[in-house]
Structure 1
Amino acid sequence: MSDVRAEEDFASDSLRVVAHDGRTVVRRTGWWSPAVHGLLTYLERTGFAESARFRGLDERGDERLEHIAGVSGLDAWRLVIPESGLRAYARLLRRYHDAVAGYVPPEGAEWMTASRGLRAGEILTHGDVGPWNTVWRDGEPVGLLDWDQAGPRPALHDVAYALEYAVPFRSDADAMAQIGFPAPPDRTTRMRVFAEAYGLPSTDGLVDAVLAEQEETLRATLEVAARGLEPHATWVREGFVAEQEHRIAWTREHRDLFV
């Protein structure tokens, strides 16, 4: 494979993409990669069709993954705006959680933000299941990208992460200008639609779950940035902490918009 990247940029964390040729993606690895490779191998064995397929390491120790063709990145974000896309997005997340429910990682598995095994009530969450990390074809999600932040957490962490970006938990102006909503989003309805499609009995507690996820994201980003990991270290240098604290404060101030 050539080391020259194709023009298509389908991965959210392109700083770790070394090359891709339309069939295979080559990405740099980190201390968490062996654990993630074990997870991806398990998902392939169990028939979860939407996970990235790990195809080993190259001679430099970079990981090789099968490319999932379709719409992803920022272009995928607009696909969760219609109610049909929002439901499909929630169902994708539920399929993943059902598929991974039986997986117990090997003792000593080290994740990007945790070095421990599963606790009671936890699964291996994707950890970065924003709309940009989904791949779509013909209006349906067919892939999940960027598993670097997978790790042991309650399933509700993934649900809250998805809700933060798909409902979304941001101002009307930002939802329209940054994401592409044609009008201010009906957040209460979108919370209910996602919860129903995922299989939750109600939206009770979900705003608090999003707040907890936002606070955990701040903590985890600071932790890995302190270890020099990119792009996290750059994010912190360029103002991530103030931005994330603003998001948390906005959620607290506007929680009545979601219930």
Structure 2
Amino acid sequence: MEKLPGGRDGIYRVRNQVIRPANKTTQTIHGLLNHLHLQGFHQCPIPIALDHERETVSFVEGQVYNYPLQGNIASKQTLKSAAKLLRQMHDASASYVDSLKGNENWMLPVRKPTEVICHGDYAPYNLVLDGEEAVGIIDFDTAHPAPRMWDLAYAVYCWAPFKTHEFDKMGTLDEQIARAVIFCKAYGMTKEEISGLPDVMIERLEALVSFMRKEAEEGNEAFQQNLEDGHDLAYEEDIQYILQNKKDILTMLFK
């Protein structure tokens, strides 16, 4: 049994399977994953088993990276591949939205209009690579119904990345915007969607900070630790960074 690194404890690999702690949302997520596979989207874990304490899913083979973005995860080819894979996942999830009964459990709030199932944390550390090709998406815990733009805004923020923390930041503002352009084009975003990107990024980060603080106040130890580590303050600094550079971001996005 191999303990897997990441943001949560208690995740282990046993041969070609991953054992993870289960929670009240896990059954809903398993339904989503099964639906994605039925739609022909096989670049995500396959649900295998679930009880009150643990879930078992298939292991997605490949390399997983984290910040700071270096090596294959930072390449332009990976950026394009990541955007295309997110588009495929969104398209495959759209029909799942139509089947929802409204009694499903999601970690993050449902957001109208519910166009697709958002991954909720489409960051580099949740992508599996084979060289510079995105071959899998993992950790769907934060998946929830919402507009495409809600997921896209956070994805672009994470992949540009429009981050200010010394450990997370990468490149100059111009280089970050250039990466955002690549992601937007590879996904196939419309001009209308691109024009609203900075505002939705800010709104998405504000919602994340509010959610983290609410969960911490209600006794969620993981989010209490996040606040102790200053994650919410880092997001607030990034909000200001995007706000201050909004004009330049929009100008270069439409060049």
Equivalent position of 2:2 in the other structure: 5
User: How much has 1:204 moved relative to structure 2?
Assistant: 1.3
Distance 2:136 2:69 in 1: 14
Match status 1:73 vs 2:62: no
* Counterpart amino acid of residue 61 in structure 2: A
- Does structure 1 conserve the Cα–Cα contact (< 8 Å) formed by 2:160 and 2:176? yes
1:128 to 107, 121, 127: 121
User: How much has 1:66 moved relative to structure 2?
Assistant: 0.6
Equivalent position of 2:133 in the other structure: 140
- Does structure 1 conserve the Cα–Cα contact (< 8 Å) formed by 2:73 and 2:132? no
- Does structure 1 conserve the Cα–Cα contact (< 8 Å) formed by 2:34 and 2:47? yes
Normalised by the length of structure 1, the TM-score is: 0.84
Distance 1:251 1:155 in 2: 20
- Does structure 1 conserve the Cα–Cα contact (< 8 Å) formed by 2:119 and 2:143? yes
What are the superposed Cα offsets for residues 37-81 of structure 1, whole Å, 9 maximum, x if unpaired? 1111111211111111110125x6300011111111317943342
Equivalent position of 1:64 in the other structure: 56
Equivalent position of 1:50 in the other structure: 43
Change (3 A) 1:246 1:193: same
- Does structure 2 conserve the Cα–Cα contact (< 8 Å) formed by 1:112 and 1:224? no
Equivalent position of 2:244 in the other structure: 253
- Does structure 1 conserve the Cα–Cα contact (< 8 Å) formed by 2:161 and 2:169? no
Helix, strand or coil for the counterpart of 1:70?
coil
- Does structure 2 conserve the Cα–Cα contact (< 8 Å) formed by 1:113 and 1:224? no
Equivalent position of 2:206 in the other structure: 215
| CA RMSD of superposed structures (Å) | 2.4
2:9 to 15, 19, 28: 15
Give the paired residue count.
245
Change (3 A) 1:211 1:71: same
Match status 1:226 vs 2:217: yes
- Does structure 1 conserve the Cα–Cα contact (< 8 Å) formed by 2:113 and 2:146? no
Normalised by the length of structure 2, the TM-score is: 0.86
Distance 2:126 2:68 in 1: 8
Distance 1:53 1:13 in 2: 21
- Same amino acid, percent of matched pairs: 25
* Counterpart amino acid of residue 162 in structure 1: A
User: How much has 1:143 moved relative to structure 2?
Assistant: 0.8
Distance 1:106 1:57 in 2: 21
Q: Which runs of 5+ in 2 are unaligned?
A: 251-255
- Greater mean deviation of Cα atoms: 193-202 or 129-138: 193-202
Helix, strand or coil for the counterpart of 1:124?
strand
1:110 to 101, 105, 112: 105
Change (3 A) 1:75 1:69: farther
Helix, strand or coil for the counterpart of 2:117?
strand
Distance 1:21 1:75 in 2: 26
* Counterpart amino acid of residue 206 in structure 1: L
User: How much has 1:224 moved relative to structure 2?
Assistant: 2.8
Distance 1:254 1:105 in 2: 39
- Does structure 2 conserve the Cα–Cα contact (< 8 Å) formed by 1:86 and 1:194? yes
User: How much has 1:95 moved relative to structure 2?
Assistant: 0.5
Q: Which runs of 5+ in 1 are unaligned?
A: none
* Counterpart amino acid of residue 14 in structure 1: R
- Does structure 2 conserve the Cα–Cα contact (< 8 Å) formed by 1:25 and 1:65? yes
